[in-house]
Amino acid sequence: METPLSPRESGQFIAERSRDVFVEDGGVEKVAEMLYSLRHSDDLTASGWKKANPLAPAATSDQGSLSALKATQKALNWVFVADTMNFSFWPEKETQQCEVTYKGTAYTGYMTLCAAVTRAMDEGIPITDPKYFSQMSVEELGHVLRSDNETPMPMLQERHQVLTEGGHVLLEHGGSFWSFISQAGNDARKMVELIVEKIPSYRDEAMYEGKRISLYKRAQILVADFWGIMEARGQGDIINMDWLTMFADYRVPQALVHLGALRYSETLMEALKKGELLCSGDRREVEIRGCSVWSVELIKQRLYKLVQERDGETCSVTSAVIDFYLWPYAKLHHKEMAHIPIHHTRCVYY
């Protein structure tokens, strides 16, 4: 089988051939200007990542103690568990959202997963221990991911399959996510390649116009989350972070359309408004995700140019950090963009 194009190469390849999704220069400029105004804020840093997910475990910067080391390993295993099951949270009906309440706050979407995993830890369930989650039953996982209303979390069987699969891989490579990912050194690109090679559920690839493309949403976000934890420890000196693209899901494309950086054809918009389910690998699904990747690359390029021209400085904001801003932006402004449909694809990739 041919080696797929990298996510960035895939994004450009798709955007140059797309029939139903289009990158809009005016919107790219607008988003770059918006990010330029935030260039000195925490929104475009690793702390912005933590702010976007308050349930993610904190990693202490006290590097010397054994307890701090164990806390970091536990935090990284939490990230692995959450990211391995980080897919397909959209409800069949908007009024039927799966919901998990944690410490008085009701969470929906991806945050239900984070709340459920953290709740399990509080209950003494060793959900971040690969020895446990590699062997847990579907019923045990169902208990961990139980909803606080009548709507269950979708795809329980698939989540169980990918989590136990991932647990076995960690056990084969030192017994923790840290020991596993350390094989790639401090290189973000090698980390993604290692994850995709060893763990099948992260192999987010498709065929488009005769080429094998890759988007690797979950593999890339797993590496970015690893960086976020290590950055909090003062050990975020990972090379090739700029190799990562944005994480092509169903929420950020909606934000990009809302901001004018992407445009859908009338036929695609109509299909989405009717609730048509797009299969993973469907041409239109690939175009939505690929053009999202490429639009963020162009936004980043424009942002770099603005910083250079206006401030005489070099900008180091990565595509991953831009995604860390756009995803909570989409959640925050969901009412304003409710008229823009998200695409619906049930799969393990996002």
Prediction pTM value: 0.94
The verdict on residue 28 lying in a domain is yes
Q: Is 186 helix (H, G, I), strand (E, B) or coil?
A: coil
| Side-chain half-sphere exposure of 168, counting CA atoms within 13 A | 11
Residues whose CB is less than 8 angstroms from the CB of residue 34 and which lie 6 or more positions away in sequence, other chains included: 259
Model confidence pLDDT, tens digit, residues 208-261? 999 999 999 999 999 999 998 888 778 778 999 999 999 999 999 999 999 999
Tokens at 265, concatenated: 């054809």
Q: What is the pLDDT of residue 159?
A: 98
* Distance from C-alpha of 329 to C-alpha of 125, rounded to nearest angstrom: 33
Cα-Cα end-to-end distance for the chain: 23
The verdict on residue 343 lying in a domain is no
The verdict on residue 29 lying in a domain is yes
138, amino acid identity = V
The DSSP element (H or E) to which 211 belongs, if any, is strand 211-214
Using alpha carbons, select from 92, 101, 202, 108 the residue that is nearest to residue 155. Answer: 92
Per the listing, tokens 């991932």 go with 166
Tokens at 134, concatenated: 């590699």
108, amino acid identity = T
Is 198 in contact with 171 (CB distance < 8 Å)? no
Phi, psi of 187, rounded to the nearest 5 degrees: -115, 115
The number of distinct structural domains making up the chain is 1
The verdict on residue 1 lying in a domain is no
Range of the domain at 254: 7-332
The verdict on residue 208 lying in a domain is yes
Is 307 in contact with 314 (CB distance < 8 Å)? yes
62, amino acid identity = D
The verdict on residue 348 lying in a domain is no
Is 322 in contact with 296 (CB distance < 8 Å)? yes
Decide if 148 is catalytic.
Answer: no
Model confidence pLDDT, tens digit, residues 254-308? 999 999 999 999 999 999 999 999 999 999 999 999 999 999 999 999 999 999 9
Per the listing, tokens 């987010």 go with 204
Phi, psi of 4, rounded to the nearest 5 degrees: -70, 155
What is the pLDDT confidence band of residue 45, given thresholds at 50, 70 and 90?
Answer: confident
The verdict on residue 304 lying in a domain is yes
* Distance from C-alpha of 167 to C-alpha of 187, rounded to nearest angstrom: 22
The verdict on residue 318 lying in a domain is yes
Active-site residue, from 43, 204, 249, 323: 249
